[in-house]
Structure 1
């Protein structure tokens, strides 16, 4: 009998609870279809936790996540908390939970479904065959470097420092090489080595690590060129590995290749199998409570969880196949529908995907 896996569920803010509910329905269906067993425990996080507990990352929520086998997160944040001091902003909770759980990489697939090419702003022939993954380093770089202000001859001056050490670069590089080995064995390492010292260290380290992966083709791409090539020839990329800031920007750019950020899943991983899984999209407070959010990104995040944390490859493929079948049949939520009058609501889309899991 399959072991019971503990899942820490954080619904979050805005549309988070709506899309998480559909993901849970999918997980329940795979319990029936594949004999899997899950124990779900819920906790507060983000803006709602600030409102109810005075902190974006309550201690009991963190403890729940630390005891779990995986975390399923909806979305956090919104304009309501934008003017809060730094320690009372939902984004601070995200940085805190990543650090506390030892999550140093963010995995973001970008797959263009043939039936959704019309939803993208790029020409269909440019998108043909696009199936890539961005591996973003999460715990270093300018996000975590020293920040301060000081007086200067030109007036007040702000300083943000970016730092990386060899260990940080090596562990993310190895993870990216391992992922590339399971795909088309192509890795693009993105940096700005012609300008930045951190990028020169990055490139040197990636080259050294590459000696352990002779079966993977390594390409070095400057970040500005990568941004251009993602629009010019996206199908030429397989796995992209890069630092925190570049990864933040490039993964959002890659998301738009698919036509909607509502289609993109993600995983945040550490050294072991444990991971935090969430859609790339935000909390979308403008449509919260309307029942029109696209649940596909969260459902595909479950497929990532099954594959990367639990090794449930057959169930993961069943979820991905179900999503593809529903989309191929012409069903759409409003964010990807050409004719908005035919768009399905969140729950109806989830029900169709559940029904397609076999």
Structure 2
């Protein structure tokens, strides 16, 4: 056990480091891993107690002692982020768009009446963890080190109110692609993911819990995922189960505009910025189910894909609506999304200059 001190802008973060006595790395094959099932040797933890952040520690990955009465379990105060780090050609490791994830993390915390986390705790905790477990970052193409920061309420009180105390935990897992084939998706017109005035724009655990039953039902019908529609009329497409949605119509990128029912995706923003740099037009607006289906039928809609940290850029091959399957163009012949995906990947893996300043090398 030892300590490192990382000097931040406003403070010095004293992080205690406790290394595992036996690494699992030698017995782990870092290629072709199932997503999110194999964790690295260590995790970062910090506590918010009595109005103060404290107990900064990187320690062996494992169970965390907690009361069965903590309010995260009973009242759902829990948020998280999804981030990725990439092995660059020179062997260094870069975290992609960490500042954007940090900002969204605190936006989610605010919506869920949770404490915000200081930037130095978020960033320096991730850096300390990755530095210790840097050998876990895969070097194979389309592989990454997935980073999962999470914050949850720790008050052991049965009462409906915002917690006073919280725990922040960062986990890392080497990962391949979340999806390994183009998707068959169903437009959902009964269940809803987010409603006006709700928490759809927050990356909170409950949003994913409420999606599980309709997703299971869709998978039983042969679909991979859902396309959620608005809660009021089920007239407009919003996002997919794990990603934002994008369509190519007349060689332009058309995507549902961000609103309080839609997560402001980091990969969504990345794709739009790269698309602009490649000269493609962008339309951020409400997109109706009727428009999507009509433009598939007329050939105007030539590409559809999901974008997210886990999903990256995943092609949509078929869209089901009220029992009818609408087949799109061959996913292997989609020049717009292919060009965008290539540039995004080249930047993330350090194969071209990072003209946007998105890579944070650790």
| TM-score w.r.t. length of structure 1 | 0.28
Structure with the largest fraction of helix: 1
TM-score by length of 2: 0.28
Where is the strand percentage greater, Structure 1 or Structure 2? 2
